[in-house]
Each structure stands twice: as structure tokens, then as C-alpha cells.
Structure 1
């Protein structure tokens, strides 16, 4: 399994409650693609949300985000981390 960071843009003004709802929507269906969403961060001023996940492929992550209603604009594998 690979870790991925994905980026969502255009979420200006997102609240902590909205971030939690979006994360929960992903978690509710993540098993269908073998994905585990670990963390999410947001910058409401810039409207950027970042998600950390572990998944078999980037496409699996993208499919979950699309199905839960907030497609990612970018996805990046994270081959090194501490």
C-alpha cells in the first residue's frame, strides 16, 4: 500500500464541521476501494483541503472522493515519510 496526499481547491470558508462531514463521507465508503483515509487538513482562507490516505492506487483514492461528492484536484504519492 502507498500513502497519498491529495489536494482539493475551491473550498473557501470551509468550517471544521464541513471538513469532518467530508472526511466522514469518505470513511463511510473507503473499504469498497481498499482505501484508508488517515487525516484531513484545511485552510479556509485559501480554500485548500489536504487529505492523507493509504491506498492500493491513486485512482482508488480519486474514486472515493468523487463518489462522496468532493473530487480531488491533485493527488501525489508519498514514498518517503517519517
Structure 2
């Protein structure tokens, strides 16, 4: 059993094994949390077309850093969602394993 707030084991979506990815964006000049919230909503509206689930995000407004946690069949599917939803493609994306 996973602890509260955890994502648990990667689910299978239509026979496709899902994995967790963390992406990172660097925005010159900083970023507003409200703008990131709007971009995240666009991700949520787009994600089903690619078999992806954007789960959470974190923002450091002053440093212009955004981190997104996504459940996806592969990194490219996660990238396609950002590209189509709002064009803000991550600078890096890494497969991650959830810890406690």
C-alpha cells in the first residue's frame, strides 16, 4: 500500500506500461505561479490524447524554475503534451522512481 499522497506503482494504460518522469523548465526573468497554473490546465486538457497524466508541478517564481511530475508511457509522449498544450517544452526530462 502506498502512503497518502503517493502515486503508487506505475499503472498500465491500455496494455502500455507507464513510468514516472520529472521535467524541468528554466524561464529567464522568473515566472508567475498563476501562469504556470494556466499552462498546467492546458496540459490536463491535452494529456488524454497521448496517454499521459500530469500529476503535480512545483514553481520557484523568482528563479524561474518549474518542475512537472508526469505519468507517461515514455518521455516523448510527455514532451508532446507540453508542446501541443502551450509550447513550453522542458529543458530536461528524467525517468524517476518514487521514494518515501
TM-score by structure 1 length?
Answer: 0.91
How well do the aligned residues superpose, as a CA RMSD in angstroms? Answer: 1.2
**How many residues align structurally?**
82
Check conservation: 1:6, 1:76, Cα contact below 8 A: yes
Counterpart in the other structure of 1:26: 43
Higher relative contact order (CA 8 A, sep 6+): 1
Unaligned runs of 5+ in 2: 1-17
Higher gyration radius (CA): 2
* Equivalent-residue separation in structure 1 for 2:96 and 2:48 (angstroms): 21
Unaligned runs of 5+ in 1: none
* Segment drifting more, 5-14 vs 44-53: 5-14
Counterpart in the other structure of 1:76: 94
